[in-house]
Amino acid sequence: MSDLPPLDSAVLPSGVRGRFVDGINGLRMHILEAGFETPVRPLILLLHGFPELAYSWRNIIVPLAEAGFHVVAPDQRGYGRTTGWDSDYDGDLASFHMLNLARDMLGLVAALRHQSAAAVIGHDFGASVAAWCTLTRPDVFRSLVLMAPFAGPPSLPEASRAASPPTEDIHAALAALPRPRKHYQWYYSTRAANPDMTQCPQGIHAFLRAYFHHKSADWPGNRPFPLAAWRADELAKMPTYYIMDLDRTMPETVAAEMPSAEAIAACRWLPEDQLAIYSAEYGRTGFQGGLQWYRCRTGGVRLAELQLFAGRTIDVPSLFIGGKSDWGTYQTPGAFERMQQSACTDMRGAHRIDGAGHWVQQERPTEVTALLLRFLRDATA
């Protein structure tokens, strides 16, 4: 894995290069970048989620660079061609906890010889890293764009007990539904999840095709709405890629929604040659690196360290961009509202884009870029 070259320029947009940056919090980090030719440009970091890569920003990087920025998208810890992380289920899980992931980004800023980043932009789980970057080091990360809601740091346990009565065991309640269910994040935290996906009968490429399709605006069942509460009956209103059937793996879940050959050929935002970049990388690395992030969340790894920031707000200029067909906006009831009302004190807008599902920066890059450039002009003025 460590002998691989950077991603070949032949599969990247003109003006984007791949390279490695060594010595970042124990990592040799693979990055894609543009706008590097001119010194003293403001830095923008683009942080991907699961199961994505730096490559997921391919259609955003060049337009931002053309607007005058040094744009950098890393393969984050556990992903792609970045090395130095532990892929063992029984290995170093704590290195994937949120503050260490934010430390990775702080180290990357320094290694790139920047004093600060004009903006950190995160999608999916990358939005959590971006939020923690700005929450902990607003002097370095000067503005924030979230492509998944961030509701703020966890409360102290004493405050949590005082504020709300005990809640049901959500997992027992989901399993006890007339149609027994389970939450995908806890499934992703099991030992079986990685072999389920890497050794799935349909193969990794077909699995990823169905997974990306199922969570996109191309799947007609994605018509999200706010949920009333963190209760089994409410969570079960979400599609099966979030609230799975109890006896199904994720490959089995998405296989039921595999698009037709005609639909695949018509998919402009993720044609087969671009999906092949993902399937080749995950075929080589497996999924465990990304799954470690979920295990930290579901297992409360170093939760006490995050509670040190209880009540702290994000005060840098902030923006939310999501797809109108993205259930991720509502998967944690109340998070979208708390992000705007209390977690971010300088929220400049919350946009939900027509014709986009979960993969908003891939499905609608032109609209996303326009929103980003407008925000960056104001936030960096």
Cβ atoms 222, 239 nearer than 8 A: yes
Check whether residue 15 and residue 153 sit in a common domain.
Answer: yes
The answer, yes or no, to whether residue 164 has pLDDT greater than 80, is no
The answer, yes or no, to whether residue 161 has pLDDT greater than 70, is no
Respond yes or no: is residue 358 known to be catalytic.
yes
Which of these three, 265, 292, 319, is where a domain ends? 292
In a domain, 124, yes or no: yes
Which of these three, 266, 292, 318, is where a domain ends? 292
Q: Which residues fall within 8 angstroms of residue 116, CB to CB, at 6 or more apart?
A: 43, 109, 139, 140, 141, 142
Check whether residue 13 and residue 150 sit in a common domain.
Answer: yes
Check whether residue 153 and residue 168 sit in a common domain.
Answer: no
Check whether residue 258 and residue 368 sit in a common domain.
Answer: no
In terms of residue numbers, what domain contains 18?
9-157+303-379
Check whether residue 86 and residue 153 sit in a common domain.
Answer: yes
Check whether residue 219 and residue 247 sit in a common domain.
Answer: yes
In a domain, 215, yes or no: yes
Enter the tokens of residue 15.
């003006």
Quick: pLDDT tens for 249-286.
999 999 999 999 999 999 999 999 999 999 999 999 99
In a domain, 372, yes or no: yes
**Which position has the token pair 């063992």?**
88
Best CA proximity match to 4, nearest among 102, 75, 106, 89? 75
- Rounded Cα distance between 342 and 157, Å, is 19
Q: Catalytic pick from 123, 183, 213, 358?
A: 358
Which of these three, 270, 292, 314, is where a domain ends? 292
Radius of gyration of the chain (CA): 20
Check whether residue 202 and residue 307 sit in a common domain.
Answer: no
CATH number, domain of 328, equals: 3.40.50.1820
Q: Distance between the two ends of the chain, CA-based, in angstroms?
A: 42
The answer, yes or no, to whether residue 100 has pLDDT greater than 60, is yes
Mean pLDDT computed over every residue of the chain: 96
Check whether residue 241 and residue 267 sit in a common domain.
Answer: yes
Q: Residue 39: which pLDDT band, with cuts at 50, 70 and 90?
A: confident
Check whether residue 175 and residue 267 sit in a common domain.
Answer: yes
Best CA proximity match to 147, nearest among 168, 126, 171? 126
Best CA proximity match to 353, nearest among 340, 366, 339? 366
Q: Residue 158: which pLDDT band, with cuts at 50, 70 and 90?
A: confident
| Average of per-residue pLDDT across 343-372 | 98
Quick: pLDDT tens for 108-147.
999 999 999 999 999 999 999 999 999 999 999 999 999 9
**Predicted pLDDT of residue 259:** 98
Cβ atoms 104, 76 nearer than 8 A: yes
Q: Catalytic pick from 124, 196, 218, 326?
A: 124
Respond yes or no: is residue 124 known to be catalytic.
yes
Quick: pLDDT tens for 184-201.
999 999 999 999 999 999
For the entire predicted model, the pTM comes to 0.97
Check whether residue 173 and residue 148 sit in a common domain.
Answer: no
Task: Provide the number of structural domains found in the chain.
Answer: 2
Check whether residue 240 and residue 168 sit in a common domain.
Answer: yes
